[in-house]
Chains A and B, each alone.
Chain A
Amino acid sequence: MNWLYDFSYLTGGIHNSLSEHFEPSTVTLIEMILAGVAFMILFAILGLVLVYAERKVSAFFQQRLGPMRVGKWGTAQTLADVIKLLMKEPLMNKNADSFLFNLAPYIIMIAAFMAMAALPFAKGLHALDFDIGILYVSAVSSLGVIGILLAGWSSDNKYSLIGAMRSGAQIISYELSVGLSLLTIVVLTGSLQFSTIIESQANGWWIFKGHISAVIAFIIFLIASTAETNRGPFDLAEAESELTAGFHTEYSGLKFAFFFLAEFANMFIVSAIGATVFLGGWMPFHIGGWVGFNNIMDYIPPIFWFFGKVSFIIFLMMWFRWTFPRLRIDQLLTLEWKYLLPVNLMNILIMAFLALMGWHF
């Protein structure tokens, strides 16, 4: 069971056995394709599981049962939905810009797919370990907004246009807060590489080690990332009671499904980044100096820690959605520009001062 604790055994094993039979360039190619296929499968599973989880959690918050008919406790409901969406006729407006209309789902999915490539899932289980990991993820994941704007603009529908514009203003505004709150921790780690950030949390997660500054940064990150994924109280881009469905009103069938899938994938990505930077990623719960305690915690495989933390943050985001009423666009922009951004800048200064004085653990 060693591979469950350190995936480099598994990946290294695959690499070695491939190297025996093929040339190095072919090996690289095969590994890349394997990784691509693995991520596609992960993407599909994530979509199915998260949509089901969202519906069940929403139902329980409202004292309903949620989907119950298809499969045991409705577990096959999302699968049935995918098949239904696949069989739906793809529709398009007569005045829509067909090229941009069809391009939009591609851009959104590519952005989500490429952002997911840099995530560390467990020890030795990551496709790409960039030394600029955080910068890369925040850069790529912000490309998705182009897809949203294209979708809204090309649909030739006023609801879509309003939704896309709101979404654009919202995502670019809150992107600042996401980046800055992550930088608060980068000040402590001195590295943007995910593996280094995780290693630096071997004697305690940053949210515990980084004093009140890290907690503030984590709260800001949660708010901003909820807004960046167009969720919860910040879902005014697709406010169903005023804009029907926002920027994807005109999409039908599978293209609509891709917007939905990308939204859930983005939710997973921001949760994974939050879990990695603030909660130690796949690093088990360690307390500096407590060797026995740390050893007991090490018995739980890292991959369970990672997915546990990610599910916790995703659950928090679902909780937000059913707790807070939807914001207006002016409240939304006020919250970001007049509260979160100044607080964030001050917080970075405080964190830098703490790091300089060595007052963190």
Chain B
Amino acid sequence: MDSEALIIFFFGGVLMVGVGVLVSNLVAPSSKNTQKDEPYECGIPTQGPSMIQFKVGYYLFAILFLIFDVETVFIFPWAVVMKKVGMAAFIEILIFFIVLGLGLLYAWKKKALKWE
């Protein structure tokens, strides 16, 4: 089988959830109650909206991740051909890692890795 079989697995996932939700809707009881529509926050009425602007720290880590994940994608093909290319590949990745490490050190020094 080739990569077109991925479509089957995609629809397999869709089918599994879809059928499950459908059956659940058919057999599950349903009763209306205004209390049921409330967010579950330990019984106390919710204060203010919940879909709010959130702490920027998470966003910072997302950006850091983006940088390093792109680097990882570069390392993937390198790792595959490393043994064939030999010493040249090792030197190159050494330079690459030094630059990468400097980036990490910069983020570290700027306290981007510190959670406040």
The chain A residues found within 8 Å of chain B, CB to CB, are 28, 31-33, 35-36, 39-40, 43, 85-95, 97, 102, 105-106, 109-114, 116-117, 127-128, 130, 135, 153, 155-161, 165-166, 168-169, 172-173, 175-176, 179-180, 183, 186-188, 190-192, 244, 249-250, 253-255, 257-258, 329-330, 333-334, 337-338, 341-342, 345, 348-349, 352-353, 355-356
Contact = CB atoms under 8 A, between A and B. Distances in A.
B38 A109 contact: no
A109 B42 contact: no
A155 B40 CA distance: 10
B36 A91 contact: yes
Interface residues of B, number: 73
A contact patch SS: helix
A157 B39 contact: yes
B16 A157 contact: no
Contacts of A338: 108, 113
B5 A89 contact: no
Contacts of B51: 97, 153, 156, 161
A86 B28 contact: yes
Contacts of A192: 76, 80
B25 A90 contact: yes
Interface string B6-27: 1111111111111011011101
A183 B76 contact: yes
B115 A165 contact: no
B48 to A, nearest CB: 9
Interface of B: 1-18, 20-21, 23-25, 27-31, 36-42, 46, 49-52, 54-55, 57-58, 61-62, 64-65, 68-69, 72, 75-76, 79-84, 86-87, 89-90, 93-94, 97, 100-101, 104, 108, 113-115
Nearest to B39: A157
Contacts of A172: 61-62, 65, 69
B17 A109 contact: yes
A333 B55 CA distance: 15
Nearest to A356: B90
A255 B83 contact: no
Contact of B115 (A32, A88, A156, A330): A330
B27 A117 contact: no
A250 B41 CA distance: 10
B14 to A, nearest CB: 6
A183 B75 contact: yes
A186 B5 contact: no
Contacts of A90: 21, 24-25, 28
Residue in B27, B76, B79, B81 with the greatest tally of chain A CB atoms within 10 Å: B79
Given A112-B13, A176-B65, A128 B42 contact: no
